[in-house]
Chain A
């Protein structure tokens, strides 16, 4: 079985915390709980920046979850993989140094894992709120189902 890492990126504010919320929901999932910590590792991050390259080093499959800010409807779910993520620099929420920029650097340095999947949800303008908005919460339950199936289907 290949090693999998799921990194939820966010901050404690409004919908920007959806990456963290997703990790909590995945940890509560029974299928996810059946994996050993050596095979599946889940962690929350607050603006990992370039440290993302270090965090991804020990895994073959990486799942990133982050808030997306674009002009699409709030709650829209995105899924991108490998090179697609690198090309979407300005579309993806950038915590300090953008994920796209970080992955491009990782590719140049030959430091990327075999497969990187980015799951995102379009966030609202509630950055000063304490909670994730209801619309995003609904999307998160769909996202967790999608991710659960994808993780369980991995070799």
Chain B
């Protein structure tokens, strides 16, 4: 007898993404699985047209409340490449520091308030905080350091306004730097303990075969610069992205899917750690090895460990930068607009964020293209769900399938993670 089960997780709504999950099971097999992002197109690329290069950073910062720095940094690199600007070592270093703040803020939030309650069977971080107050407080401290770093250079922690083409509008004062450096030193223990804690949490084995894609730089863990690499041997310049990665529309989603050689791929913390493990400081690698962890890992649930590793990295990197901080003569270099096409690609907390701009000779935008990590990971999330739900057992109760689906989705992306708290499940059986 044929048995078809349709599970519709109908509403994923929150700030940075709205979506749903449609799952159809027939005769014990997945017949259809669609992750649909149905948020209306936000048209930022169109809004940017005919805008001056001086406005672009403020525009793109508004695309995401969680990773505005990433949008600003990808845009600024693209624009500066068109103007042939060398903003110098001080600006380059401060951009790394700025970015560390965003990773700290985003990763801490995701681990403690979105993802980890799933691993302990709690409905929310609020429920979990009653039993694990010290761990949740630790998450708040780490998140706060990230916010302070963003504020130091961006003027404020949400939708920062301090970055400009050529550098920053102003340099942090030495007294601010000294104060923050002390706080970071006091938080290092939190990062070590977080990693140890997460390494000892029991988690399911969700090992799969997939392609990891991340930036790779010659001598540092990638944040703002590097080649686009993959564990299938890909190693290309960022301006070659369009030759290898194909975006396309699927009928059930307003967000484009993106594939590499017609295959889904993972971008984000786990992919970064997998491809850049050797670039991590020895101190971190030693702790990882002492804990018995192994990278590269293809267990998707190791994403949380990868985030913890990057939190630790960001604290060490911020400490290194702030210890050597010296105020510059000028926090930015002068700009002379010129026409051309430029590319920027940086590592947003959730993965590769690729920008392309075509500017006229006055620096006004003729066209823009933005490929965010959320859309790149969509196809991978679908493939993960197909694999993991089958392994989990498709004959499980709908509520169990729903909870596990949400957990798998949350594991990828803080934007979608936010949304999944609002999932409304409808089950149809025939």
Set of chain A residues within 8 Å of B143, measured between Cβ atoms: 50-51
* B378 interfacial contact with A, CB 8 Å: no
Q: How many A-B residue pairs have CB under 8 A?
A: 43
Contact of B156 among A46, A50, A101, A109 (CB under 8 A): A46
B156 touches A51 (CB 8 A): no
CA distance A105 to B156 in the complex (A): 23
* B396 interfacial contact with A, CB 8 Å: no
* B8 interfacial contact with A, CB 8 Å: no
A105 touches B144 (CB 8 A): no
Contact of A50 among B15, B109, B130 (CB under 8 A): B109
CA distance A104 to B65 in the complex (A): 23
* A108 interfacial contact with B, CB 8 Å: yes
**Contact count band on A:** 10 to 19
Set of chain B residues within 8 Å of A47, measured between Cβ atoms: 65, 158
CA distance A55 to B130 in the complex (A): 22
Q: Mark A4-41, 1 if CB is under 8 A from B, else 0.
A: 00000000000000000000000000000000000000
Distance (whole angstroms) from the CB of B338 to the closest CB of chain A: 31
Of residues 104 through 134 on chain A, the ones whose CB sits less than 8 Å from some CB of chain B are: 104-105, 108-111
* B136 interfacial contact with A, CB 8 Å: yes
Contacts A105-B125, A105-B129, A108-B129 known; A51 to B136 CB distance under 8 Å? no
* A48 interfacial contact with B, CB 8 Å: yes
Set of chain A residues within 8 Å of B126, measured between Cβ atoms: 101, 104-105, 108
* B147 interfacial contact with A, CB 8 Å: yes
B113 touches A97 (CB 8 A): yes
Q: Is the interface of B mostly helix, strand, loop or mixed?
A: helix
Contacts A96-B65, A97-B113 known; A51 to B129 CB distance under 8 Å? no
Distance (whole angstroms) from the CB of A151 to the closest CB of chain B: 24
* B159 interfacial contact with A, CB 8 Å: yes
Contacts A47-B65, A54-B144, A101-B126 known; A96 to B136 CB distance under 8 Å? no
CA distance A18 to B137 in the complex (A): 31
* B140 interfacial contact with A, CB 8 Å: yes
* A59 interfacial contact with B, CB 8 Å: no
* B328 interfacial contact with A, CB 8 Å: no
List the A residue with the shortest CB-CB distance to B160. A46
CA distance A111 to B140 in the complex (A): 11
A46 touches B158 (CB 8 A): yes
Contacts A50-B109, A51-B147, A104-B126 known; A109 to B15 CB distance under 8 Å? no
Set of chain A residues within 8 Å of B65, measured between Cβ atoms: 47, 96
Of residues 74 through 101 on chain A, the ones whose CB sits less than 8 Å from some CB of chain B are: 96-97, 101
Set of chain B residues within 8 Å of A45, measured between Cβ atoms: 156, 158
Set of chain A residues within 8 Å of B129, measured between Cβ atoms: 105, 108-109
* B274 interfacial contact with A, CB 8 Å: no
Set of chain B residues within 8 Å of A54, measured between Cβ atoms: 140, 144, 147
* B88 interfacial contact with A, CB 8 Å: no
Distance (whole angstroms) from the CB of A144 to the closest CB of chain B: 23
B159 touches A46 (CB 8 A): yes
Contacts A96-B65, A109-B136 known; A51 to B130 CB distance under 8 Å? no
A111 touches B15 (CB 8 A): no
Contacts A47-B65, A47-B158, A48-B158 known; A53 to B130 CB distance under 8 Å? no
* B327 interfacial contact with A, CB 8 Å: no
Of residues 73 through 132 on chain B, the ones whose CB sits less than 8 Å from some CB of chain A are: 109, 113, 125-126, 129-130
B144 touches A51 (CB 8 A): yes
Set of chain B residues within 8 Å of A46, measured between Cβ atoms: 156, 158-159
List the B residue with the shortest CB-CB distance to A101. B126
Distance (whole angstroms) from the CB of A14 to the closest CB of chain B: 15
* B281 interfacial contact with A, CB 8 Å: no
List the A residue with the shortest CB-CB distance to B127. A108
Of residues 256 through 288 on chain B, the ones whose CB sits less than 8 Å from some CB of chain A are: none
Question: What would 17 A/B residue contacts be, using CB atoms closer than 8 Å?
Answer: A45-B156, A46-B156, A46-B159, A47-B158, A50-B113, A50-B140, A51-B143, A51-B144, A51-B147, A51-B157, A54-B140, A105-B129, A108-B126, A108-B129, A108-B130, A108-B133, A111-B137
Report the 7 A-B pairs with minimum CB-CB distance, sorted nearest first.
A54-B144, A46-B158, A108-B129, A47-B158, A51-B147, A109-B133, A105-B126
- Which residues of A are interface residues toward B (Cβ below 8 A)? 45-51, 53-54, 96-97, 101, 104-105, 108-111
